[in-house]
Structure 1
Amino acid sequence: MASASRLLPPAPPPAASLQCQRARLAVPRLRCRASAAAAASPSPGAGVALLERGDAAAIAVREFVTLDELRAAVNLRIRTFYEYAVETCGAEDHKAALAEREYQGLQDRISGKRINFQRVSCINGTIPLSPSLMSAGDLCSKCKFEEDGKERVVIGSLDLNQCLWLPDELTGNRPGVDEDYQTRAYLSNVCVAKELQRNGLGYALVDKSKKLACEWGITDLYVHVAINNVVGQKL
């Protein structure tokens, strides 16, 4: 499923407008696939217990700063989008290979090495490492990075892509909101650590991407959502 939402009105109308258009698209297997754990709706307040007093105020939502942060964001995506049975042989090696491939691919897109990607930004939600997060499985070990001598954890992430078309990712009919592809952008790899969902971080990530898109001159954003990802569809 793809949805397109208008960010800025076409000049000169003064009033902002919102236009939504949806088209049936084939769901890509790699980037847009949601695991059963990611699609499941957590109980209200499930992530609150992992946030210590004052932690919520310390959450930073911004464009990535360091390559270590970028790698931590990629690890969060692999952790979110892929699920393996406990007895699966070679699962960790497979995850490491997926993470390395996505890390190199994301660097190439951001640096402009990938054809048709004019501008790409990785936007992350990060939080200081705290004792309360240590109970969140491998979240701290996999998604941790160091900045200014302090350890932080990436708990949410997405990519904002300004591009003409997305090879191997966009299938079917493009959202027909604006014929000028230069003013459209695509959100990809939207994820929030399952232990910290329903704390508003997903909305904060999308809001940040909308503000950055406006700075780029973007008028329309669209995104693919897996048909079984109810939480993603609501977001």
Structure 2
Amino acid sequence: MALLSSPRPLPTHFSASSLLVRRRPITACQVCTPKQPLHHSTLLNVSEASAEDELWAAACLRVRSFSNLKPTTFGLQDHQRFLAEREFEAIKERVSGKRKGFGRVSCINATVPLSHLLSLSVSADDLCASCKFTTNGQDRVVVGTLDLNQCVSLPDEIAGSRPKEIGADFARAYLSNVCVAKELHRTGLGHALVAKSKLVAHDWGISDLYVHVAVDNEPAKQLYTKSGFVYECDEPAWQARFLDRPRRLLLWFGIPGVQL
């Protein structure tokens, strides 16, 4: 489940959606469903990122998750670095508010100490090497990441129809670039990332949260369904063929407690 929402050519995005009951205060325990101990670990930190070395680590994880390059590809490391540099610059542009058509954008990362990751019974040498950063004197690793985008629509994606009451550019947001390191699938990290995004969206005054997901991406659809997202519509077949990708579903989540 490396790709938790539908991939786009790097640099780009991913998304999420819906709860039918809308006027309750939102809490972390309300919006996530942990499965494994890592999700409960006090060593896990899920937060908005601003430091450039952490944004770089997030870009590297996205390349690891989204690129389909074969291990035998000529010049693999150089090409991966090129993709990471391109995504890194795109993240910085979006987070700084310089990307046209976007309001606020937040890069939300799940991180754990490098020492803790090395102690786990998983083969994660490449993850530790490529997605490591240092904060407050401690080496940590980005193990999950997503973007929360306040905007009317995402490029080359179908747009949500809510809210209807006020300007959509203020109260509508999309999740994008959602991924978890393949070594740590089924540990609750996806739920933790989505949960944090809902809290941030609530603080921004977002009432309607969306995500796009490929119709054949069952793990991602299960994640979003368990997180309260519901189906709103799907991408026309002609558009998917034109963009040469699997057809997408658009899912919606109503942020509880936001008064419009």
User: How would you bin the TM-score normalised by the shorter chain?
Assistant: 0.7 to 0.9
Unaligned runs of 5+ in 2: 1-5, 7-14, 26-34, 224-260
Deviations 1:64-104 (A, max 9, x none): 14110010011011101113222211222221111111110
Aligned residue in 2 for 1:74: 59
Question: What is aligned with 1:154?
Answer: 142
- Give the equivalent residue in structure 2 for 1:209: 197
Could you tell me which amino acid in structure 1 is paired with residue 181 of structure 2? A
CA deviations on 1:161-190 (whole Å, 9 max, x unpaired) are 0013323x32x4x22232331211000001
Counterpart-to-counterpart distance in 1, 2:112 and 2:142? 7
Runs of 4+ in structure 1 off by over 6 angstroms are none
Q: Secondary structure at the match of 1:209?
A: helix
- Structure-2 separation of matches of 1:129 and 1:222: 32
- Cα offset, 1:137, TM superposition: 3.8
Distance 1:204 1:90, change over 3 A: same
- Superposition RMSD in Å: 2.6
Deviations 1:37-71 (Å, cap 9, x if unpaired)?
xxxxxxx97xx7xx6xx993200011114110010
* Alpha-carbon separation, structure 1, partners of 2:20 and 2:148: 14
Pick from 105, 112, 115 the counterpart of residue 120 of structure 1.
105
Residue from 89, 106, 110 that aligns with 2:74: 89
Q: Does 1:184 align with 2:169?
A: no
SS in 2 for 1:57: coil
Closer, same or farther: CA 3–152 of 1 in aligned 2, 3 Å: closer
Match of 1:145 in 2: 133
Give the TM-score, by structure 2 length: 0.68
1:176-213 deviations in Å (ceiling 9; x for gaps): 23233121100000111111111111111111100110
Q: Which residue of 1 aligns with 2:18?
A: 5
Q: 1:231 and 2:225 equivalent?
A: no
* Residue aligned with 1:224, SS: strand
Name the CA distance, whole Å, in 2 between partners of 1:137 and 1:208.
27
Which amino acid is the alignment partner of residue 18 of structure 2? S
Q: In percent, how many aligned pairs have the same letter? A: 50
Which of 119, 144, 147 aligns to 1:132? It is 119
**Which residue number corresponds to residue 184 of structure 2?**
196
Task: Normalising by structure 1, report the TM-score.
Answer: 0.75
* SS of equivalent residue, structure 2 residue 110: strand
Aligned residues: 195
Q: Is the 8 A contact 1:127 1:155 kept in 2?
A: yes
Could you say what secondary structure the match of 1:88 adopts?
coil
